[in-house]
Amino acid sequence: MNVRKFLAATSREAFRLVREALGADAVILSNRKLGDSIEILALASEDMTKLVEPASAAIASSPAAASVAQRITSTAEARARLGMPVQEMRWPQAGTNAAGSRAGDGDQADGLADALQSAQFAQATEIASAPAPQIKEVVDEIRSMRDMLESQLAELAWTGQQQREPVRGAILGELLAAGFSASLARFLAGKMPSGLTQESGITWIRSILARNLQVIDNENDILGQGGVFALVGPTGVGKTTTTAKLAARCVMRHGSGKLALITTDGYRIGAYEQLRIYGKILGVMVHSVKDDADLRIALEELKHKHTVLIDTVGVSQRDNMVAEQIAMLAGAGVPVKRLLCVSATSSGETLAEIARAYQGNGLAGCIITKLDEAATIGSALDLAIRQKLKLFYIANGQRVPEDLQVAERESLIERAFAARPDAAPFKLRDDELPLVVANLGRSNKDTSLREVSLG
């Protein structure tokens, strides 16, 4: 075992020397003040590993295991022992340093950074002295502590930036109020060029959102090219009504003889009858299928049709039937383009869960329904942007076929930021924004933002 000693004027400088000499995974054995200097005794992670493994084996096989277990008989004792290094890593209170003099955000950040570094180094030493059944408890405690420190750092950093550039905070608030996810809102606010006014900043944000929102150029992508399209999504998003609207558009362009309708919904009472009534009005036959074999037979018989629309049964995104439905459409014998129908009234978390469940081997695009019922539409646009889903249509009512329009990115972005008089109680105040950013900094794992184009 090779224990090394480091001396520096400040703890931050001492930790830097430890990292440079032993790496980021080094273990701090002691940390004390000697006169005007800080002394740290540290151990390389490789040397600590040699200690941890024999200690774990000894606990499992040594006759002294019983006495070791008696020393730590509960999680509370393990937490109490874990609390000892935490006591030493407390950061200065807001506005003061360790000596009691006034301090700025930089001093607070230094204290938090040192505390976070100590929390990381404390993990290996605590594991080495804990019995095997309680190792997980100790690690969970340390991770919780790290999350707290990271949250504090993110909040402090954003507060400082907000004071220097208040326009970014205002832009972040606008994006959140429009329904966009916290991760996308913070990403765009952080990437916004410096020196912009709030008005020019919103203009820049709109241009970036419009650039990343994929829409069809015109209806030729679906009505002109034809093919087999299946509308999928959870129950109640309006798949049957949207299917009828698309069917009406196809008939107006190509005539009833070029279109066929299929329903796989044999679960809901009257589901087939509802689509059959629409088909009767349009002069189109509606076929009902029960399983993948029926679907293959029906598509084989209808291969001469220009367009085939499949109305699928609504399934919760958490139901195992979603995978069965995807497999049935994939094994239909002909390419089936799946269009995900999502409601603009759903929350961003729900929409993300739906997209993950229905993604399968790839979605051809999406249709946003119930825009007439949604107070904000940012969550739906956010989904399309982050998941790179091409937006085909928007539905804003029950009328067939009037309430179905080709998606237009500029009008949708403008609508997302439209003034909402009733939304004032739900807007975040300036002093609340750092809390949102802090929580995001602790839990954000969104990798889809790497695909967002800024220019």
Q: Interhelix angle for 198-212 vs 378-386, to 10°?
A: 50
The predicted pLDDT at position 137 comes to 74
The 3-state secondary structure of 280-312, one letter per residue: HHHCCCEEECCCHHHHHHHHHHCCCCCEEEEEC
The pLDDT of residue 26 is: 79
Query: Please, where are the H alpha helices in 221-270?
Result: 239-254
406's tokens: 């080709």
Laid out side by side, the sheet with 259-263 consists of 286-288, 259-263, 307-311, 227-232, 336-343, 365-369, 391-395, 404-406
Q: Which amino acid is at 29?
A: L
Residue 16 confidence (pLDDT): 87
Q: What is the pLDDT of residues 134-155, one digit of tens each?
A: 677 777 777 777 666 655 655 5
Written as six digits, the tokens of 4 are: 């090394």
Total length of the chain: 455
Q: Which CATH class is domain 219-407?
A: alpha beta
What CA–CA distance (Å, rounded) separates 176 from 186?
Answer: 9
pLDDT value of residue 373: 92
pLDDT score, position 32: 81
Q: What is the dihedral of CA 217, 219, 225, 231, to 10 degrees?
A: 110
Cα distances from 110 to residues 33, 53, 165, 427, in angstroms, run 17, 34, 22, 32
Domains of the chain by residue range: 3-162, 165-212+426-455, 219-407
Q: What is the per-residue pLDDT for 195?
A: 84
Q: Running along the chain, 455 residues long, what does each successive block of 10 average in pLDDT?
A: 82 85 80 83 72 46 42 42 40 38 47 56 53 69 69 58 72 87 87 88 93 89 88 92 93 92 76 84 90 91 93 89 91 92 93 92 92 91 93 91 91 86 61 61 59 74
What confidence score (pLDDT) does residue 65 get? 40
Write down the pTM of the prediction: 0.64
Query: So what's the pLDDT on residue 34?
Result: 81
From its phi and psi, is residue 229 left (phi > 0), alpha (psi between -120 and 50) or beta? beta
pLDDT digit string, tens, across residues 30-44: 778 888 888 888 878
